[in-house]
Amino acid sequence: MEFPKVRMRRLRKNRIRPLMQETKLSKEDLIMPIFVDENISSRQEIPSMPGYFRIPLHSISDEIGKAMELGIRAFIFFGIPASKDEIGSSAYDDDGVIQKALRDVRQDFDDAVLITDVCLCEYTTHGHCGIVHNEEILNDPTLPVLGKVAVSHARAGADIVAPSGMMDGMIKAIRGALDENGFENTAIMSYSAKYASSFYGPFREAAESGYAFGDRKSYQMDFHNSDEALREVELDLREGADMVMVKPALSYLDIIRRVKEAFKVPVAAYNVSGEYSMVKAAGRMGWLDETSIAYEILTSIKRAGADLIITYHAKEIAEVL
């Protein structure tokens, strides 16, 4: 009988096991999404995202403070404005919901990293991510508006702006607008490879950003493709993106890996609303252990190559890290 000389199991023993971990999730990897709602006066749980809340403006600093106590330092803000119109003008109002929230948080927490979603869908009556004419989402007329939104966010204290509308040329337009207004140090995290995905369903309820007609397929990517993601990333980097994003995350680990290997730039992954809700639903049914599943999912996203992960699990995971 010949016994194996190489035994993989030697290093798997409990005491040694943690020393062998190639990938370690840390609190610094996490970005927590914040839904600020101008229309409510107390926290409201989002029905399709159990355990996740929309926050009224007056308690936004409180909310950030609690997360920071758990060790989370980065936040991405989404606004639900009091008023919407055809062109999404409340998105670049200096007294808009995001701008007010940023000023509050910045005043209370000097070391919080404030990221903003730069898009029009939550601010337009039709719910699309660009300027619309005859039910068509127009690319070029949307660009200067995105520039204005980014500048107003920077002025209110954003460290990083994150355009999510998938308009061609949006990074160049935003970089130009920021630089012209003296915000050359505001960074851009581009939602470069954003797929048209059914995983965004719960978010659209959370942010009231469902659309009045059509779908988002004229601007978001087709999930049958992955070379196309590399082209998107390349263009965004050339236009001045400081970091890029792949979204969703869990069904797109291959894209994260390809992007990381091809470009060696900071890559964020968005563990989106539907991915969160699936875990929560199964957890509530008693079919899965929510926290250990979330931990495994986030670790796999990091192992695939993500440097940063936007996740609704941020708080529960920070608690166990």
195 binds ligand PBG (CB under 6 A): no
Report the residue number whose CB is nearest to ligand PBG: 203
Alpha-carbon gap, residue 186 to 116, rounded angstroms:
11
Question: What are the residues facing 113 on neighbouring strands?
Answer: 74
User: Considering 100, 247, 260, 302, which one is annotated as catalytic?
Assistant: 247
Supply the minimum distance, in Å, between the C-beta of residue 261 and ligand PBG.
25
* Residue among 306, 171, 163, 166 at smallest CA distance from 238: 171
Report the candidate in 150, 158, 139, 160 with the shortest Cα–Cα distance to residue 180.
Answer: 150
Question: Which residue among 35, 52, 75, 203 contacts ligand PBG (CB under 6 A)?
Answer: 203
Give residue 50's identity as a one-letter amino acid code.
P
Stretch that binds ligand PBG, among 6-14, 170-178, 198-206, 260-268 (CB under 6 A): 198-206
Residue 61 or 294 with smaller CB distance to ligand PBG: 294
Restricting to residues 165-194, name those near ligand PBG by CB under 6 A: 165
Closest CA to 34 of 113, 93, 108: 113
DSSP string, 192-241: EEEB--GGGHHHHHHTT---SSS-STTTSBPTT-SHHHHHHHHHHHHHT-
| Close Cβ partners of 164 (under 8 Å, ≥ 6 residues apart) | 117, 118, 119, 129, 191, 194
Q: Within its chain, how far is the Cα of 300 from the centroid?
A: 17
**Contact with ligand PBG (CB under 6 A): which of 273, 290, 304, 306?**
273
Residue 277 CB, nearest approach to ligand PBG (Å) = 9
Which is the catalytic residue, given 84, 148, 194, 260?
194
- With residue 277 as reference, give the H or E element that holds it: helix 273-284
Beta carbon of residue 210, minimum distance to ligand PBG (angstroms, whole number): 8
Told to check if 117 binds ligand PBG by CB under 6 A, we report: yes
Per DSSP, 4 falls in state P
Scanning 1-9, 88-96, 115-123, 175-183 for contacts with ligand PBG by CB under 6 A, the matching segment is 115-123
Any bridge partners for residue 78, and if so which? 35
Q: What CA–CA distance (Å, rounded) separates 52 from 33?
A: 10
24 tagged catalytic: no
Residue 123 interacting with ligand PBG (CB under 6 A): no
What is the x/- site pattern for ligand PBG, positions 209-248, by CB under 6 A?
x------x--------------------------------
Residue 172 catalytic?
no
Helix ranges restricted to H, 79-208: 97-108, 142-156, 170-180, 201-206
Q: Please report, as residue ranges, which positions from 20 to 79 form the binding site for ligand PBG (by CB under 6 A).
A: none
By CB under 6 A, tell whether 200 contacts ligand PBG: yes
Minimum CB separation of residue 141 from ligand PBG in Å reads 17
How long, in residues, is the chain? Answer: 321
Nearer to ligand PBG, 117 or 239 (CB): 117
| Stretch of 55-63, 90-98, 114-122, 153-161 lying at the interface with ligand PBG (CB under 6 A) | 114-122
Pick from 105, 272, 279, 314: which binds ligand PBG (CB under 6 A)?
272
Where in the sequence numbering do the catalytic residues fall?
A: 194, 247
User: In the complex, which residues of this chain contact ligand PBG (CB under 6 A)?
Assistant: 117, 119, 121, 129, 164-165, 200, 203-204, 209, 216, 272-273
